Amino acid sequence: MCTNVPLMWQPEPGWHPLPGGTGTSTVGVWRTVLGGRPVVVKRLAAPSDHDPAELSDPRHFAYWRRAADVITAQVPLDTTPGLRAPGLTSVEEDDEGITLIQDWVEDAANSGLFCALALGRFAGAEIGEHRWLARGQLRDRMARTEHRGGWPTLARTTVADVADHLWRRRRALLDELDALPQVSQHGDPGPVNLPGRDGDEVLAIDWATLGTGAVGADLGLYMLAAREEFEPLLDAYLLGLPEGLATREQAAHGARVTAVLTALSRAEWALARVAGGEGALAGKYRHPAVAPYLRALQRQFPQIEQLMS
């Protein structure tokens, strides 16, 4: 007997799920082959009435459908300098959400300096004026952290005094970012999202946080997982930055503030997840879910010293 019950969206049998493919709006990410062409399928879920309002805010970094809007608005990411998007073959929307299909990007083992150069070049890209471009991404992320109570777990660590000082200065630091030249930014340029190469350009994936932000902000996010040190990365970024767009001091400050506040917030998030278990907090620093975030924070100590001075 037919019940006319609508079927929920499901991945096709044989699609291979990729790690890290879930999030607030992301149902999952899969690799498959369509018509002999290796592709990645990403499924986005439309927000419900019970989801946070930020998912429906076109300016918020968490806006649920930005990755699709980038394509339907025909933002020319196939010709932008520095960073380019892979070919996208399909944007399919239904009542439950959106299915994106894009070409699979092979890992080209890009160096950190090559990626930093590309980020600097992309800062000068023309991406148009769209109501859904992300604005004030770090400010929104810090507002999330504030809503959760700040950095209380870090107050139980050896960086307590530093964290307290920078937390009290956070609004002034965010104001300083707003006063810097605002440039095009990928918004989530970790090495995992900058895997490919097409000649002199980096093939980047996951454009869900495309927008504008302070000069150097993309570099600050990238350096959290980069192998290279700050000064060589900054030099490469400045080499790609269009002449006259910003000074070295401005780019360095944008990268420094973004990296430090992000590293502290990520360390707080990681530690808070394990803090309630048995044993002293210090004994959990080597937990596999915590250690990478603490190492990233430790690498930012020279930048923290600059902000503390």
Q: Which residues contact 283 (CB under 8 A, 6 or more apart)?
A: none
Rounded average pLDDT over 218-240 = 98
Structure confidence at residue 89 (pLDDT) = 81
The Cα diameter of the chain in Å comes to: 74
**pTM for the structure as a whole:** 0.94
- Model confidence at 208: pLDDT above 60: yes
Structure confidence at residue 5 (pLDDT) = 52
Rounded average pLDDT over 103-115 = 97
Structure confidence at residue 20 (pLDDT) = 77
Structure confidence at residue 309 (pLDDT) = 82
pLDDT tens digit sequence for 256-270:
999 999 999 999 999
Rounded average pLDDT over 238-245 = 97
- Model confidence at 289: pLDDT above 90: yes
Mean residue pLDDT across the chain? 94
pLDDT tens digit sequence for 1-28:
445 556 789 999 999 999 877 677 899 9
- Model confidence at 198: pLDDT above 70: yes
- Model confidence at 193: pLDDT above 70: yes
Percentage of residues of the chain with pLDDT beyond 70: 97
pLDDT tens digit sequence for 41-65:
999 999 999 999 999 999 999 999 9
Rounded average pLDDT over 240-248 = 97
CA distances from residue 33 to 14, 90, 242 in whole angstroms, order as listed: 10, 14, 39
Q: Indicate if the alpha-carbon torsion angle 72, 220, 152, 20 is positive or negative.
A: positive
Structure confidence at residue 3 (pLDDT) = 53
pLDDT band at 252 (very low <50, low <70, confident <90, very high): very high
CB of 46 closer than 8 Å to CB of 40: no
Rounded average pLDDT over 30-51 = 94
Total residues belonging to the chain: 309
pLDDT tens digit sequence for 151-187:
999 999 999 999 999 999 999 999 999 999 999 999 9
pLDDT band at 145 (very low <50, low <70, confident <90, very high): very high
